[in-house]
Amino acid sequence: MRKQLIFLSVLAILLSSCAVGSAGYDSEVLLESGAPMAKGMEYTGDSYYGEAENSITSASYQDQGIRTQATQARMVIKNASLSIVVEDPGATLDAISDLAADLGGFVVTSNLYRIQVDGGLEVPQANITIRVPAEKLDQALADIKSGAGQILNENISGQDVTQEYTDLESRLRNLENAEQQLTKIMEQAYETEDVLSVYNRLVEVQEQIELIKGQMQYYEQSASLSAISVNIQANEAVQPLKIGNWQPVGVAKRAIQALINTLEFIANLLIWIVLYILPVVLVLYFPVRWIWKGLKRLFTRRKKKKNQDKTSGEKEK
């Protein structure tokens, strides 16, 4: 009976520690008593006796004035990406690295390499990702763009993780409460089997606590430090090939565009013929043909009658 009570008490603690996190409530679960030994219990021989009639009481949800999502500060993860054109990608890469350090951030990754453009020319290109304090994101973007000759692309994204962080806080509070209750149970257990059983449950709860703390730390760091990814291209990589005043690429583009326009005209004409002109012709063909045949027969009869009248007149003479 005593082992069953210990098992039930541990189970109640574990269930109460997960209840708020899974249901999405933001109130703290308080355990009135986690086990026969946790509150006002004495060990006498083979069983435990206490003040309460039942050894395990149900978990109760009480409002502790915990801040809710509506009143707490929003936690938003803001990141940005840029694609710029500069004269010297290598120098710009170093400048952005120095900028991150000056703003209290750091470089996550950086890469400088060479690519081959049309005409066989090799030009440098670079990629860099930095993290800067979120409140200095706009300043960092402005500084990066001020040193760029051309901005090809800019994107700023935000992710609100307030609800996820609040849920983790609730789960953490209840798991820490469960950890305290399990610790008390283990301290007051006497049998080796009971101690090991509670210890195993305690280790599981502690592992969950560390996991949740890691997730919360990730959200905190991501919200406090914004990531900026910059693609740095050289001017030669985006400028058209030019031989004197002649730009073969431009001529080729215009020729291709003219071909596309011609094909587009032919395709549109075929579509009009198949979907509009042909159905209209078919609809009008049969009535017009019927009318034409009727008029033709009428004309033939009149002509025949006229010839007959003419022949009859000649005979009478």
Q: Would you kindly state where each structural domain of the chain is located, as residue ranges?
A: 247-308
List, for residues 174-231, the tens digit of each pLDDT value.
999 998 988 888 888 778 887 888 888 889 999 999 999 999 998 888 888 999 999 9
Under the banding of pLDDT at 50, 70 and 90, the label for residue 49 is: very low
pLDDT tens string 87-129: 889 999 999 999 999 999 999 999 998 887 665 677 889 999 9
What pTM was computed for the model?
0.50
CA gap 157, 297 in Å, rounded: 79
C-beta atoms surrounding 6 within 10 Å? 24
pLDDT band per the 50, 70, 90 thresholds, residue 21: very low
Residue in 78, 112, 77 with CA at minimum distance from that of residue 92: 112
For residue 209, the model assigns a pLDDT of 93
List, for residues 133-150, the tens digit of each pLDDT value.
999 999 999 999 988 878
Find the mean pLDDT for residues 17-32. Answer: 39
Backbone angles phi, psi at 8, to 5 degrees: -65, -40
Burial level of 35, CB count in 10 A (0-12/13-18/19+)?
buried
Instruction: Say what the pLDDT of residue 58 is.
Output: 35
